[in-house]
Homo-oligomer: A and B are copies of this chain.
Amino acid sequence: MRILHFWPLDPFSRQVRLALEEKSLRHDLQLEVPWERPDDLVSLNPAGTTPVLIDESGGGRRVIVESRAILEYLEETTPTPCLLPGGPAERAEARRLVDWFDRKYDGEVNAYLLHEKLEKRAQGLGSPDPAALRAGRDHLRWHLDYMAWLLESRDGLAGPRYTLADIAAAAHLSCADYLGDVPWDAFEPVKHWYQRVKCRPAFRGLLTDKLPGTPPSAHYADLDF
């Protein structure tokens, strides 16, 4: 059996959920609230962050911590379907984009939009700062512009096949979309890409997420938005 410790609007947990679904790996979800530093989570991961995967599928008990480590672990233990296709250079390009979203987008978009709208509310840190929200939305447009450029200049985000780069991008963008912050119509290539990703069966679970007190945007679960 597998258990994924996750928080619904954590883009890192979402990447692992998508990969588990793409690979048809059965798992239970264990909700965590990372900023409360719950004992069970901290004992599994001293950083106190989600996601953490408990894998008891092969006998024994493996604790796999941190999204990129988990994604690589799933590639190694369940290679089909492959989410890092191609040769070493193509795989490096997919990994570059995972890092792009996990560090650059995370610091420039999530640190503003998710922090202001979700983390501050959940942690009782006051209401969102309008200047920070504006900055987050500006940065988001810049990232969407970069994605549009990638999608127009080549076949697919990191290449013609669906990769961890698509999963990372979709996991991060889906959180901003939950909050209604993505100006899809101004970035047609990205909108078409996200429509395709959103239609994948692996995406269904994410679209049913509902955070108490913060309902999703009207079009969040709409496949034809």
User: Interface of A with B (CB < 8 Å)?
Assistant: 46-47, 62, 64-66, 68-70, 72-73, 76-77, 88-89, 91-93, 95-96, 99-100, 102-104, 146
Distance of A69 Cα from B64 Cα, bound (Å): 20
The oligomer's copy count stands at 2
> Knowing A66-B95, A68-B95 touch, does A88 contact B100 (C-beta < 8 A)?
no
Q: Identify the closest chain B residue to A150 (Cβ).
A: B46
Distance of A64 Cα from B99 Cα, bound (Å): 13
Q: Are A92 and B104 in contact (CB under 8 A)?
A: no
Q: Is the interface of A mostly helix, strand, loop or mixed?
A: helix
Contact partner of A77 (CB less than 8 A), chosen from B77, B88, B95, is: B88
Of the A-B pairs whose beta carbons lie under 8 Å apart in the complex, a sample of 15, sorted by A's number, is A46-B146, A47-B100, A47-B104, A62-B88, A62-B89, A64-B89, A65-B93, A66-B96, A68-B68, A68-B99, A69-B93, A69-B96, A72-B91, A73-B91, A73-B92
Q: Are B73 and A89 in contact (CB under 8 A)?
A: yes
Q: Are B95 and A69 in contact (CB under 8 A)?
A: yes
Distance of A69 Cα from B76 Cα, bound (Å): 16
Q: Chain B residues near A93: list those with CB within 8 A.
A: 65, 69
Q: Chain B residues near A76: list those with CB within 8 A.
A: 88, 91
Q: Chain B residues near A89: list those with CB within 8 A.
A: 62, 64, 73
Q: Identify the closest chain B residue to A53 (Cβ).
A: B92
Q: Which 4 A-B pairs have the closest CB atoms?
A: A69-B95, A73-B92, A69-B92, A76-B88
Q: Identify the closest chain B residue to A75 (Cβ).
A: B88
Q: Identify the closest chain B residue to A87 (Cβ).
A: B76
